[in-house]
Structure 1
């Protein structure tokens, strides 16, 4: 084992944790290696038309997936999957890692169907136990997974490719699930979901392959992820797109170059006119939570748009780069 550690340190001298064992680095870290890493970017897509179709699809999908009654509501997602679609997921945890995995019952539910290669011995003899084929089989499994609440303000959407009638895209972000949704201090999970879809008509699509990765994370990691989104948003206006020029401004794109990273600023249920003061307060609080602005600036934005929530959201995204920093100071 010592020889193995020595060989690793020959090329990676600052490694301090290897194969689950704390080891003494052979060299002291003297430089900030984070400066050597590329700066994070918010979202990638070079086609507005494709982006709009994908975002509309995801909005409808997440609205059905995020439910307190997954056993019934998620079965409506059968229309989103091709008859020959495949779905699998993995819960990415290390057996001896000390980080919290959240609610035990919720975690156990995930592990029963997880296709994690670290625990391959549990399913290698029967791979179909953790691989779901066909729209019916898939939605039955989705209905068994814990109820969820995705934090849309943390979403990152990348359109990986589109060719002919096929499109691949990846959605990342944070969510809470199960009993954690009612907790004053919930445990967050990070997810990455890869979709391969096929066009089924004008503006519609069906999922051919759906792969979900779930990773319980610490509060510190969740904060770090949010900080990364904020930093990337501040850098976005100056970063060149794939054509060598700045990315075009997209009013609703996830992590747009002048907006808060989210698929869309969702509107609350319709309210009667005139708007009751208590409803206004709720709208202000929700708008502040989704945009990151403080209550005063959120109220001002809503007032300027006659408390039209969707119009306020669009306006916020349009002028995001011009909003003063104090608007985001709580």
Structure 2
């Protein structure tokens, strides 16, 4: 676990240092020659499309695009097409304190991780904060790593998400101001109940990964207290045991 955490931390730091810079050209080194990339953009009820207009044209939301031909066109294959797409998206500034990282799978030959958090667009005055969820599948190459599959989901951040991050920053600042106790080195993580927008994205992501419908994906997450890693692990165990009914895959 410690090895996995250090690898993921280094990967994300390097990736977002480039992604949030003025040029994303260097990201070409991060992707496999035959990597696949898809972008989904969701709008919650009451949200205006103009808030995410820069992303909707490339959005591969399968619930809204019935055309197989259109779906295939929006699936970017090859590192050149992927980086061209990323370069066409607005310049961004991500908030690392908002990041929630889930190391789904860590083996010597394959790493799967999910990271979500908040970001804003640099070139827009008073740009609304946006929420992202990014699923990376990476493999070791030489002394580094290479992305072979990526799914990026973008939504307008909800007021609850923005407030949660602001509160977290206050806690971090307050903690930093307290002198360290040399006799204690145990960190305590307080579980936070995800808001509705985050839950919606977790359900959608689990459905895409597992093949289950949204109802059963939500049921799986609810029974694991909205811990995505535990929900996915539970699904894999139940699937291996043949305990999942056929209705779970009926969409």
Task: Return the TM-score normalized by structure 2.
Answer: 0.65
How far did 1:126 drift?
Answer: 2.7
Which sections of structure 1, spanning at least 5 residues, go unmatched? Answer: 1-46, 231-287, 305-314, 322-330
Instruction: Please say if residues 20 and 92 of structure 2, whose CA atoms lie closer than 8 Å, have aligned partners that are also in contact.
Output: yes
Contact 2:62 2:71 (C-alpha < 8 Å) held by counterparts: no
Which one of the candidate residues 35, 54, 59 is aligned to 1:85?
35
Cα deviation for residue 167 of structure 1 reads: 0.7
Matched, 1:62 2:2: no
Quote the offset at 1:81 in angstroms: 0.5
Runs ≥4 in structure 1, deviation > 4 angstroms? 224-227, 318-321
Q: Distance in 2 between matches of 1:120 and 1:292?
A: 44
> Is the contact between residue 118 and residue 131 of structure 2 (CA under 8 Å) also seen in structure 1?
yes
Q: SS where residue 119 of structure 1 aligns?
A: coil
For residue 176 of structure 1, the aligned residue among 120, 128, 139 is 120
Unpaired runs of at least 5, structure 2: 189-251
SS in 2 for 1:118: coil
The answer to whether the aligner puts 1:158 opposite 2:102 as a matched pair is yes
C-alpha distance in structure 2 between counterparts of 1:226 and 1:194, whole Å: 24
Alignment match, 2:87: 143
CA RMSD of aligned residues (A): 2.9
The correspondence of residues 291-302 of structure 1 with structure 2, limited to 5 A, is 291-293=172-174, 298=177
CA-to-aligned-CA distance 1:128-150 (integer Å, 9 cap, x gap): 32111111111010000111111
Number of residue equivalences: 186
Structure 2 counterparts to residues 1-330 of structure 1, below 5 A? 47-67=1-21, 69=22, 73-94=23-44, 97-99=45-47, 104=50, 107-121=52-66, 124-180=68-124, 182-183=125-126, 186-202=127-143, 204-224=144-164, 230=168, 291-293=172-174, 298=177
TM-score (norm 1): 0.50
CA contact under 8 A between 1:100 and 1:216: conserved in structure 2? no
- Larger C-alpha radius of gyration, 1 or 2? 1
Q: Would the aligned equivalents of 1:187 and 1:219 in 2 still touch at CA under 8 Å? A: no
Q: Deviations 1:250-288 (Å, cap 9, x if unpaired)? A: xxxxxxxxxxxxxxxxxxxxxxxxxxxxxxxxxxxxxx8
